[in-house]
Amino acid sequence: MLLTITTTARPATDLGHLLHKHPDRVQGFEQSFGTAYVFYPEATEERCTAALLLEVDAQALLRARTSVSTPDFSLAQYVNDRPYATSSLFTVALGRVLRSALRGTCRQRPELARTPIPLELRLPAVPCRGGADRARALFEPLGWSVLAEPVPLDPGLPGWGDSHYLSLTLTGTLRLSEALSHLYVLLPAMDGTKHYWVDRGEVDKLLRAGGLADAASEGAAEGGDDPGAHASGWLAAHPERAWITRRYLNRRESYVRTALARLAEADDLPEEAGDDPAVEEAAEERIAAPGRGEREPSLAEQRAGAVMAVLRAENAASVLDLGCGSGKLLERLVREPSLGRVTGVDVSVASLEHAHRRLCPGCDPRGRGRHRPLFADTAGGTEHAAARPELLVGSVVYRDKRFEGYDAAVLMEVVEHLDPSRLPAMEETVFGAARPRVVVVTTPNAEYNVHYEGLEEGRLRHSDHRFEWTRAEFTLWADRVADRYGYRVRHVPVGPEHPETGAPTQMGVLTR
Partner 1 sequence: MNTPEKTAPATRVLTVPAMGLVVLVGVSGSGKSTFAARHFKPTQVISSDYCRCLVSDDENDQSASADAFSLLHTIVDIRLRRGLLTVVDATNVQSGARAQLVRIAKDNDVLSTAIVLDVPEALARERNRHRPDRDFGDHVIRRQRRDLRQGVRRLSREGFRRVHVLTGPEEIDAATVELERAWSDRRELSGPFDIVGDVHGCREELEELLGRLGYALSRDDRGRPVGARHPEGRTAVFVGDLVDRGPDSPGVLRLVMGMVADGDALCVPGNHENKLVRVLKGGRAQLTHGLAETMDQLGRESEEFRQRVLSFCDGLVSHLVLDGGALVVAHAGLKEEYHGRASGRVRAFALYGQTTGETDEYGLPVRLPWAREYRGRAAVVYGHTPMDKAEWLNNTICLDTGCVFGGRLTALRYPERELVDVDAHRTWYEPVRPLAGGASTEAERPDASVDATDVGVGGPRPGLAVHTRYGTVRTDAGSTLAALEAMSRFAVDPRWLLYLPPTMAPAPTSAEPGVLEHPKEAFASFRGSGVGEVVCEEKHMGSRAVAVLCRDEAAAERRFVPGELGTVYTRTGRPFFGDPALRARVVDELRRAVTDAGLWDRLGTDWIALDGEMLPWSAKARSLIREQYASVGAAARAALPAAGSALAAAAGRGLPVDGLADRVARRTEQVEEFSRVYRRYSWDTDGTAGLLYAPFMVLASEGREYGDADHLWHMATAERLAEASGLVRSTRYRVVDTTDPAACAAAADWWGDLVAAGGEGMVVKPVLGARAEGRKGLVQPGLKVRGPEYLRIIYGPDYTDPERLEVLRDRNVGRKGGLAMREHKLGLEALERHARGEPLWRVHEPVFAVLALESEPVDPRL
Least Å distance, CB 195 to partner 1, is 15
CA proximity to 182, closest of 267, 110, 105, 119: 119
**Alpha helix locations (H) across 267-348?**
277-286, 299-313, 328-334
Instruction: Considering the complex, state which of residue 85 and residue 330 has its C-beta at the smaller distance from partner 1.
Output: 85
Torsion of CA 424, 427, 428, 431, to 10 degrees: -160
What is the spatial distance between Cα 390 and Cα 345, in angstroms, rounded to a whole number?
8
Least distance to partner 1 from the beta carbon of 399, Å? 5
**From 159, 291, 337, 381, residue interacting with partner 1 (rule: CB under 8 A):** 159
DSSP state of 289: P
Contacts of 186 (CB under 8 A, 6+ apart): 138, 139, 244
Residues 77-136 that bind partner 1 (CB under 8 A): 78-81, 83-85, 122, 124-125, 127
Among the listed residues 402, 459, 471, 498, the single contact to partner 1 using CB under 8 A: 402
Whether residue 318 contacts residue 402, with contact meaning beta carbons closer than 8 Å, is answered with no
Instruction: Give the C-alpha separation, 93 to 176, whole Å.
Output: 17
Residue 267 lies near partner 1 (rule: CB under 8 A): yes
CB of 97: closest distance to partner 1 in angstroms?
15
**Is 424 an interacting residue with respect to partner 1 (CB under 8 A)?**
yes
Residues 6+ apart with CB under 8 A from 305: 297
| Stretch of 13-21, 162-170, 215-223, 332-340 lying at the interface with partner 1 (CB under 8 A) | 162-170
Binding residues for partner 1 restricted to 432-461, rule: CB under 8 A: 432-433
- Exposed/middle/buried for 132, CB within 10 Å: 0-12, 13-18, 19+? middle
127 within 8 A of 137, measured Cβ to Cβ: no
Q: Which stretch binds partner 1 (CB under 8 A): 200-208, 268-276, 278-286, 357-365?
A: 268-276
194 vs 332, which CB is nearer to partner 1? 194
Interactions with partner 1, residue window 473-512 (CB under 8 A): none
Integer Cα distance of 125 and 132 in angstroms: 12
- Smallest separation (angstroms) from partner 1 to the CB of 15: 14
Please say whether the beta carbons of 396 and 411 come within 8 A.
Answer: yes
* Interface with partner 1 (CB under 8 A), residue from 279, 282, 385, 393: 393
Secondary structure, 3-state, 122-136: EEEEEECCCHHHHHH
Residue 427 CA to residue 409 CA, distance in Å, equals: 12
The helix/strand/coil state of 321 is: strand
Q: Is 147 in the site for partner 1 (CB under 8 A)?
A: no
Minimum distance, C-beta of residue 166 to partner 1, in the bound complex (Å): 9
Interface residue with partner 1, options 58, 317, 386, 492 (CB under 8 A) = 58
Q: Is 163 in the site for partner 1 (CB under 8 A)?
A: yes
- As beta bridge partners, residue 385 has none
Q: Which of 67, 375, 379, 488 binds partner 1 (CB under 8 A)?
A: 375
Looking at the Cβ atoms of 166 and 203, the one nearer to partner 1 is: 166
For position 401 contacting partner 1 by CB under 8 A, the verdict is: yes
Q: Is 66 in the site for partner 1 (CB under 8 A)?
A: no
Nearest distance from residue 413's CB to partner 1, in Å?
Answer: 14
